[in-house]
Structure 1
Amino acid sequence: MPIATEIPAPAPRPKRRKALWLTPLAVIAASGGLAYAVTRGGDTVDEGFKERPKACSEAMYAMDWVLPDHASDQRCTELTGGLAGHTQSGTFRMPRADVRPWLASLPGERNRREGAGSDSVVERKEGLALDILRPPGRLHADEVRVDVRWEGGDTAAVTFETFDY
């Protein structure tokens, strides 16, 4: 009669320690790569937006426009950096009688808004408005919005803003 012998179970293997340090290392590497991709290596986001004063005649020249001869109280700025692209804005005053001829002289593709005249200028009780798409010049703006507000009997306040989509 055979003797039943029990075969001992193999000894349990020692638990393998997973390399716990690999997980945080992978997370850090992935986060760093993502941050680099989003900021493009720090080219734009680190600098942020920069706003600086700019001569209104220079801002107009960048769009192949000419600042009116009798413009006064000029305040123009340029915004660069970040995701804004390159935009300009400004205000100045000019004689009311010269506004419509000046608007008609501005080069660029006209965006015909509802209520606009044959020259694409919108006439309102408080002033005029004009939208220019892709003005010529070195600025390469997608759109320029010009808003004119009547001030008193013979003065107009002109505001313009460029957009780079």
Structure 2
Amino acid sequence: MPIATKISAPAPRPKRRKVLWLAALAATAALGGLAYVVTGGQNTVDEGLQERQMACSEAMYAMGWVLPDHTTDQRCTELSGGLAGHTQSGTFRMPRAEARPWLASLSGERVQPDGVGSDSVVERKEGLALGVLRPPGSLQADEVRVDLRWEGEETAVVTFETFDY
């Protein structure tokens, strides 16, 4: 009786395994780079970017100011983190008769555009405006712009936005 011999396939060469492993690694890196480009790197660059609703009184307090009495329809937002720095914006309504005295009471270094009064409040047909550099509160904004638009004889719509340059 003949003796059976076991014939087996030759073992894969170690060099071929290394080439396949390197090819898989290169493909993974290429796909990861493509994913980064497609998403704009948002998960990495803007990871901490957060927007949140906040009370307008809290926003005013952060600037070292007080929200005027008798406000309605308050909508204020804070945007922080990432490339945005830290900014706040908002809008609310207030009595028109109280608008100029409130604007004049806001503390901070005033932007002095040409042709404005000593209180730096800009008067326009449609309302009032004021720019304040570096408000005194805890929010370290470089500038705050406040615009008031007349809404009828009784009401003014206030819009503000902070800028962190």
TM over 0.5: yes
Alignment correspondent of 2:61: 61
Matched residues in 1 for 2:70 and 2:62: separation? Answer: 19
CA drift of 1:57 comes to 0.3
Matched residues in 1 for 2:125 and 2:149: separation? Answer: 9
Residue 136 (structure 2) pairs with residue 106 (structure 1): no
TM-score after normalising by structure 2? 0.73
- Cα distance change, pair 46–120 in 1 and its aligned pair in 2 (3 A): closer
Root-mean-square deviation (CA), in Å? Answer: 2.4
Alignment correspondent of 1:147: 147
Alignment correspondent of 1:96: 96
Alignment correspondent of 1:81: 81
Alignment correspondent of 2:124: 124
Name whichever structure is richer in helix by fraction: 2
C-alpha offsets along residues 89-122 of structure 1, whole Å, 9 cap, x if unaligned? 0000000000000001101000011232111000
Residue 139 (structure 2) pairs with residue 135 (structure 1): no
- In the alignment, structure 1 segments of 5+ residues that lack a partner are 1-20
Q: Which has the larger radius of gyration?
A: 1
Percentage of matched positions with identical amino acids: 77
- Cα distance change, pair 46–127 in 1 and its aligned pair in 2 (3 A): closer
CA drift of 1:82 comes to 1.6
Matched residues in 1 for 2:71 and 2:114: separation? Answer: 29
Count of residue pairs the alignment pairs up: 132
> SS where residue 83 of structure 1 aligns?
helix
Alignment correspondent of 2:4: none
Matched residues in 2 for 1:114 and 1:86: separation? Answer: 29
- In the alignment, structure 2 segments of 5+ residues that lack a partner are 1-21
Contact kept, 8 Å, 2:59 with 2:88, in 1: the verdict is yes
Matched residues in 1 for 2:109 and 2:59: separation? Answer: 18
Contact kept, 8 Å, 2:95 with 2:154, in 1: the verdict is yes
Matched residues in 1 for 2:145 and 2:69: separation? Answer: 20
TM-score after normalising by structure 1? 0.73
Runs of 4+ in 1 over 6 A off after TM superposition: none
CA drift of 1:48 comes to 5.1
